[in-house]
Amino acid sequence: MKGQTQAVTAVMITGVVIGAVASAYVWGVPLVEKRQSQSDLQQVESKAVSLRDSIRSVSQSGSGSSEEVDLSLGNGRVEVDPRRNYIEFTSFAENAPYPVGSWRLLRGQSRQGLSFGAGEFGLQGENTPGVVAVQRESDSNSVVTYRIEFRNLKTTTPSGPILRQVDIQSSGAESASGDVTVQMTNKGTQTDAGSDRYTISNGEDLRRRRSVVEIDLR
């Protein structure tokens, strides 16, 4: 009888242990995966912010200064758009907490003067020169796009109003995929004056001083 009791007890203990292990697996694995996904997302966000900060740093460091940022994009792509003055890259993340089909600012104040905002310029002292924005693609919730964009900023000088801009230009290919090194080089400051003055929608011609940063994707 005693042997039977011990056997039953052993079976019960084994059942409890198996149940506990199974429960830990069922609940623990998704939690670990979720935390890993959040960590990966934070690392990609940090890369986007680092890219913006590096571009701005190079723009302020004098002609010839240069910095590099490495991006590991897997199947994602990075693209430079000198016409709309931004660089953006895609990544992949399940259940990313970003809006679908619309931009959210991760860094920077207001959308004023941005390609997805209102107006043609921001205001010096009120708006940051560059922003980091993010959105999920509408056709696939796992595709996330990060955009680093620089805008015109209007400021007043003793000689009148002027626009300042970190001007992104491309060198060579304007897109790349996989493991990409983004090299940024300061190409000096250029002023749009005379017949090249920047005309805004109300017809006003403004001088524009551009800190040119050349982007090379390698």
What mean pLDDT value characterizes the chain?
Answer: 87
Between 142 and 165, where is the model more confident?
Answer: 165
In whole angstroms, what separates CA 184 from the centre of its chain?
A: 16
Range of the domain at 167: 2-217
The total domain count for the chain is 1
The bridge status of strand 140-150 relative to strand 86-92 is: antiparallel
Between 36 and 193, where is the model more confident?
Answer: 193
Whether the per-residue pLDDT at 203 is higher than 90: the answer is: no
47-60: pLDDT as tens digits: 999 999 999 999 99
H-helix or E-strand spanning residue 49: helix 2-59
Whether the per-residue pLDDT at 139 is higher than 80: the answer is: no
CB neighbourhood size of 65 (10 A): 14
List phi, psi (to 5°) of 211.
Answer: -90, 105
What's the predicted TM-score (pTM) here? 0.82
Between 19 and 134, where is the model more confident?
Answer: 134
Given pLDDT bands bounded at 50, 70 and 90, which one contains residue 198? confident
Given pLDDT bands bounded at 50, 70 and 90, which one contains residue 2? low
For residues 134-156, give the mean pLDDT: 90
Whether the per-residue pLDDT at 32 is higher than 50: the answer is: no
Whether the per-residue pLDDT at 17 is higher than 70: the answer is: no
3-state secondary structure of 152: coil
154-171: pLDDT as tens digits: 999 998 899 999 999 999
**pLDDT value of residue 204:** 85
Between 48 and 12, where is the model more confident?
Answer: 48
